[in-house]
Each structure stands twice: as structure tokens, then as C-alpha cells.
Amino acid sequence: MKTQITLALLPILASCFVHPSLELPKHVYENANLVLSSDFVVRCDDILFTKAQSDFNRQISGIPSVQRLTWRKAAELENVVINAMKGTPKTFLKVCEARKKFFRTLRTMWDSCINRYYLLKKLDSTTAQNISAPFIYVQMWDRLDFLCNAGLEVALSNKFYTDTFKNTPAFQYCEKAFLDALNSDGTNFCSPAQTFLDCTDKAFQDYDDKLIAGWFVCENVRAGYTPDCPNLRCYVYKPSIH
């Protein structure tokens, strides 16, 4: 049995490599739905969760204010992680090592603690500012899972291409078209998301013919959507030779 719950201002945020999450139109959040299983149970030790987060923060930054960040400041924390991964291969791998230790600390509680529903229940109020935090936070870990595992080798060997691609007019057009589609119909999310992935793939292939780097860019965008749109796919095409 499923229970459908509508949450005001529910963000389903997207992002790409070393690129902050896209802020979607307000009415998309207002019209979004969560589907919860009736037997949904969360078992998260908050003390251990807090310790794991603190250890992660200390490993990627020596700044005291950063070390105190929690999921409630997810956007700020995401930017710290992004900036660390934009540095050198050494700093990139340092973030991945911190992620591994975070995972090992939580162990069987990972799915309960890194969980949008659990974090939403802990919010003091449903304001536009803080209700987005659980979604950005969980998305950050989803992206790190890809970047530090399946996408790791590609990320390090194609870092220049993927870092500079996000500033191209073609990719910025894809983002704008995606947001325009959501402005027109905020109730239809997954179809525009797939179009956004296809547009991103085409834009990258026009930018550079490295198929594996194109796959990486598309998959990293997709990683931010899979909790809400599990059927999204990345189709990497070889550019036509004229």
C-alpha cells in the first residue's frame, strides 16, 4: 500500500559536474508529490550521523565554519564539496576518501540517515529556504557515489573537458530550455528531465568528440534525478562525420 503526500515547495533538483544544483520554478515544488510506502521505517542514530558528518567536513576543509556544516545547510556544504573537487586530482580523491569513511561510519544506517523523508520530518518548518535542504543533501551523496566510483577514472582523465563544458552557450541553452519547460508545466517533470539529458549529450558531442567524457557528463546530471525519475537514461551518440 502506498500513501501519496503532497509537499509545498518540494525541490527535485538537478545538477552537473562541479556545477551547483539548479533552482527550479516555485510551482514545480508546490505541485510535486512524494510517494511513501506504508511500512516505511527509519532507523538513524543522530549522534553517529552528526559525528560522521563532522568527520567528513574536517577531512575536506580546515575552516572551522565549514566543519560545523550539517545537512540543514546542504547548499553551502555542496559548494564546499564542489570547490574541493575542482582543485587537483589529489583534492578530488581526498573528497572521495572522506566519502568512503562517512559511508563506513554509518554502515547499515546509510539508507535511513541519507534519506529525504527522514530529514524532511526533522525540519522545524516547511519554508522555501529549508525544505530544499534534504533534497540537495541526498543528491550530493548520490552524485558523490557516481563521481567516486563508476565515474572516477573518467572524471580525473577528462577533468578539463567536463569543467569547461558547463560554461558553453550550448549547455546553458539546455538548462534554460529545461527551466522554460517546467515554467510552462510544473506538473510534468521527468519528460523535460530526459529532454535535458538528451540536450546535454548533444551539446557535449558538439563541444568535443570524447564519447566517454560525454557519457560521464550525462550520467552525472542523471544522478541528481534518479530518486524521482528512475527511468531516465543517457544515450551517448557518436557525432556524424560530414
Please, which residues have CB within 8 angstroms of residue 125's CB and are 6 or more apart in sequence?
none
State residue 22's pLDDT score.
Answer: 66
Q: What is the pTM of this model?
A: 0.77
Neighbour tally for 71: CB within 10 Å:
20
Which parts of the chain fold into alpha helices (H)?
A: 26-31, 46-60, 64-67, 74-85, 89-106, 110-113, 116-121, 133-147, 152-157, 159-165, 169-184, 190-207, 211-222
Digit-by-digit pLDDT tens for the chain (242 residues) are 333 333 333 333 333 344 556 666 656 655 555 555 556 566 899 999 999 999 999 999 888 888 889 999 988 999 899 888 887 888 889 999 999 999 999 998 998 999 888 887 887 655 545 677 888 898 899 889 988 987 777 777 766 555 677 788 998 999 899 989 988 887 778 899 999 999 988 888 887 777 777 788 888 888 877 777 889 988 876 555 44
> Which position has the grid cell 517546467?
182
**What's the CA gap between 184 and 188, in Å, rounded?**
9
Q: Give the single-character DSSP code of 72.
A: G
Please, which residues have CB within 8 angstroms of residue 202's CB and are 6 or more apart in sequence?
237
Neighbour tally for 206: CB within 10 Å:
12
State residue 225's pLDDT score.
Answer: 78
**What's the CA gap between 97 and 110, in Å, rounded?**
16
State residue 25's pLDDT score.
Answer: 63
Which residues partner with 34 through β-bridges?
Answer: 5
* Residue boundaries of the structural domains of the chain: 2-222
